[in-house]
Chain A
Amino acid sequence: MGLRRFLTILTVAMVVLLAVVIWFFPSNEDFRTDNPFWNGISDTSSSYRLLPLKSLSALPPSPEGSTLILIPYLDFTSAELQELGDFATGGGTLILADDYGYGNRVLEYTGLKARFSGQTLLDPLANYKNKWFPRIFQLKSSPLTDNVQSLVFNHATGLTNVEAGDVIALSSQFSFLDLNDNGAWDEGEPMGPLPVISQHTLGSGRLILVSDPSLFINSMEAMEGNSRFIQNIAATTPSLLIDESHLPSTNLRVSKNLLSEVRGSLVTPVGTFGLVIVALVIVLRPVWRKEAH
């Protein structure tokens, strides 16, 4: 076999091998329903039949009874904000779980005064393992906190400008917002208790703010009362949705999507026909060459 032919075959084999590995390699992106690793939400998704949305335009036109979990790490367009507003005011429940993303864009649009602080909430004492895992045990009685003794957050933030009557959960009095990111409390940094979960009425629907989306991930979901909290959310709705269109994509996902598109085009009649032709050419080429000689 000539060297050139060998290289060609080797290259094709490597490409196929890469494509196979990429296709079957599980997703590793944060908050993805198909990610089985510690930072995915496959467990929550399978336990509560979470329906992922690739676009907010897929929101149900009649949102009554539906609940949407929104983890916004990408910015919104005006049209998307309007869709969210229509969903929440039209009777849906919007759970806005954010820490360092674009949650405040939604809050600005809705006209609420509450905001995500964006600074890290640290609790040096009431925590799990270390101060970046604050424990939340000041829980107001509500359907969301039913049978929940405490929650554990993971690199969370806090809520600001929340009316006392809207607060559902507060951090401990040892907690603080680390404004200068030095890991220690400094004069002027807000100290706890600080609101971390709140509930607001919007039209005929409601908006629930959670200052840490990490409590939904596989490694956090089973901690203390997190599972029960999620269960309480799921219990209030027959249709639990999660928006994936505002989660950043990694190269792996882009590659997977590309392979999916290629596969999609190949399974069409034209694509299949083309594939057959290519296969025939490859197979018959040596025969034609022999005949030519």
Chain B
Amino acid sequence: MKRLLVILCLMAVLLTLSPALLILAQPSHIPHENPAAAKGSLDKVSLLVSYGDMFNRAAISQYPDAQGMLNELKLAEIPTNLRDIIYRYNSLSGQLFTSLDDGESLLNEAFTLFSHNQVSAAIQRFDEAEAARRKARALLEETRAATKDIGDSLGVFTAPATSQASRQAYNRLVQSLMQVSQSMGLIPVELSLSITQASVFVGDSITASGRLGGGGQPLPQRTLTLFLNKRPFPVTTGPDGWYTTSITIPYEYVSTMTLHAEYFPSGADINTYRARQSPPVEINTIFYSTVLDVSAPATAYPGLPLTVSGQVGSPGGSVNRFARVLLDGDQLAQETIPAGFGFNLTLPRETSTGRHTLAVAVAPEGRYSGVSKSLTVDILRLAVESDIQMSRLVIISIGLLLIGLVSLGALARKRGRRRARPWIDSVPLPPVSPEVRQPLAAAPAPAARYAFTGIKGRILSAYFSGVKAVQETIAVSLTPHTTVREFLEAAGTVLPVVGEPFAELTAIAEVALYSARTPDEAMAVRAEQFAASIKEELHSGIA
């Protein structure tokens, strides 16, 4: 038995410790993983797509960009079994871009020399450009073959269920190579871009201009597109190949925007000129940042007021701003606010308790950026405190009277006032009027509804019979909100002859109702005697 206990205890200890052992290999809370245990995986689709993007840039003569992309691709994590083929592919691509770039530069030089009537030098440049182009064609053929090898190695042509995306990426890469091939037989294009000012406020305009030319000649009446970040602005060149346009800076509150121009040949130009993208131009966009300070209580209560206040301002001066107050993304209020603001809100009664996010969002306004600030607020339900006073036994004519106070507890105390509501109700009999005092009025004598037992029962029965006799005589009622003492005063005023015995009877009844002292047989007998005496006096007609 003892041995079994020892074994069980050791097992319990091991089970207790085992989660700690597991923790050795698992992160506790933060999402990172053990690199030694991480599995390597090559994203084939991303690799093929990136190569396709790279050749697309080469197709529009963006050779430096293509080379830059290639340099980054060389740093990609490639599995060992693919490293050789990828290395060869990268090497071929780099040589291709270099040859294409050299060929284009030489061609442009040739056109320039030709336009200056330096024919012999121009011819020499044309010959050199042609040699570079032949080299580029050979490299392109090798690159096409290597592309197919890569497709085989990556399994693009097998396992159709999983290679749908990789097949599409591969086809796109092949298409990009075709575009490079097509562009090699076309005349290179020059496209320039400049702007009037490097810094501008959002909402203001700048003038962008540049020239489009090909083969040393201007290209008039050509449509090209300026892109400000990704917003397009079409423009047409003039007779001299120059273009100019006004661009309004959108109300986007970022520190810089990039503008570049793109020309894609159309119509007869498709088989003549290459596509071209201008070098990008950076525009410093200026705006007034908005600063927002918000304060709100750390706790709030559904159905109760809540004040959210703060300050909103900007270096450019203060203007009225449109703001919204949100609770977990749901709007509570909105209005146009001055620099110092205050929202007086009432949380919806159905708001759930717990931690919530209260946010104030100020909308952007012209040169003034927008801003939002979030706070954490705990929404609680108030505990209701009740203080009920009730006698141990109550004589009633109609109902059981409960008098008490209901307060809002801590909140009321915190706010420096006891906001208590008098609560008067009857259980389980019909409810009574909440008014404390009413003029005593004649009412029919109610029948006793309870059977009193024991000494107390005898005392209260005697009291009740005395009350009934008084009520029948002087039409004064013991209503539910009247105390026995008040009834005594009223009855004694009207019936002085029964004042003394009724006072004694009332005193005994009070002892039975409220006193901690247990009434005895003698008190019951006295109460019955007083009740009989009162009835005799009143029925004999002496009062």
Query: Footprint of B on A, CB under 8 Å?
Result: 3, 6-7, 10-11, 14, 17-18, 21, 25, 28-31, 37-39, 73, 75, 99-100, 108, 111, 113, 124-133, 135, 137, 150, 152, 154-155, 161, 163-164, 172-174, 185, 213-214, 217, 219-220, 223, 248, 250, 252
Contacts and interface: CB of A to CB of B under 8 A. Distances in A.
Contact of B40 (A17, A99, A130): A130
A128 B373 contact: no
B35 interface: yes
Given A213-B30, A217-B32, 18 more contacts: A10-B9, A28-B24, A38-B36, A99-B31, A100-B31, A124-B45, A125-B73, A127-B77, A129-B38, A130-B39, A130-B40, A130-B41, A135-B77, A137-B72, A150-B75, A174-B50, A219-B35, A250-B28
B260 to A, nearest CB: 16
Interface stretch (B15-23, B129-137, B493-501, B503-511): B15-23
B167 to A, nearest CB: 16
B257 to A, nearest CB: 12
Contacts of B69: 173
B506 to A, nearest CB: 65
B447 interface: no
5 contacts: A30-B28, A38-B35, A38-B36, A39-B28, A173-B72
Q: Which of A100, A129, A131, A135 has the most CB of B within 10 A?
A: A129
Given A125-B43, A130-B41, A252-B20, A154 B32 contact: yes
B13 interface: yes
Q: Which of B24, B47, B77 has the most CB of A within 10 A?
A: B77
B66 to A, nearest CB: 12
B386 interface: no
B31 A130 contact: no
A44 to B, nearest CB: 15
A38 B28 contact: no
B46 A133 contact: no
A14 B28 CA distance: 26
A98 to B, nearest CB: 10
B256 A164 contact: yes
Contacts of A3: 1-2
A6 B5 contact: yes
A79 to B, nearest CB: 14
Nearest to A130: B41
A250 B20 CA distance: 10
B6 A10 contact: yes
A125 B51 CA distance: 11
B29 interface: yes
Contact of A73 (B20, B29, B34): B29
A113 B370 CA distance: 12
B291 interface: yes
A129 B35 contact: yes
B36 A131 contact: no
Given A3-B1, A14-B9, A108-B373, A30 B27 contact: yes
Nearest to A152: B35
Contacts of B40: 129-130
A7 B5 contact: yes
B39 A129 contact: yes
Contacts of A172: 72, 75
Secondary structure of the A contact surface, majority rule: loop
Nearest to B31: A155
Nearest to A218: B34
Contact of B46 (A100, A125, A154): A125
A137 B27 CA distance: 27
Contacts of B36: 38, 219
Contacts of B76: 125-127, 174
Contact of B33 (A21, A113, A154): A154
Nearest to B69: A173
B382 interface: no
Contact of B47 (A125, A137, A155): A125
Contacts of B46: 124-125, 174, 185
B175 interface: no
Given A10-B9, A30-B28, A129-B39, A135 B255 contact: no
B145 interface: no
Contacts of A125: 43, 46-47, 50, 72-73, 75-77
B255 A164 contact: yes
A63 to B, nearest CB: 25
Contacts of B380: none
Contacts of A7: 5
B12 interface: yes
A126 B38 contact: no
B181 interface: no
B33 A174 contact: no
A59 B6 CA distance: 50
Contacts of B20: 25, 28, 252
A6 B27 contact: no
A223 B34 CA distance: 12
A173 B76 CA distance: 12
Contacts of A124: 43, 45-47
A25 to B, nearest CB: 6
Contacts of A129: 35, 38-41, 77
A163 B285 CA distance: 11
Interface in B86-123: none
A174 B71 CA distance: 12
B33 A6 contact: no
B508 to A, nearest CB: 62
Contacts of B12: 14
Contacts of A219: 34-36
B289 interface: yes
A131 B36 CA distance: 15
Contacts of B35: 38, 128-129, 133, 152, 154, 219-220, 223
A111 B291 contact: yes
Contacts of B256: 164
